[in-house]
A = this chain, B = another copy of it.
Amino acid sequence: MMWEACVQVMLKPGVLDPQGETVGKALRTLGYDEVQTVRVGKVLKIKVEGADQAAVAARVEEMCRRLLANPVIEQYSFQLVKESEG
Contact = CB atoms under 8 A, between A and B. Distances in A.
Contacts of A24: 46
B44 A38 contact: yes
Interface residues of A, number: 33
Nearest to A17: B45
Contacts of A47: 35-38
Contacts of A10: 43, 45
A43 B10 CA distance: 8
A71 to B, nearest CB: 16
Given A27-B46, A27-B63, A42-B42, 16 more contacts: A8-B43, A27-B67, A30-B67, A34-B48, A34-B50, A34-B56, A35-B46, A35-B48, A36-B47, A36-B48, A37-B46, A37-B47, A40-B43, A41-B42, A41-B44, A42-B43
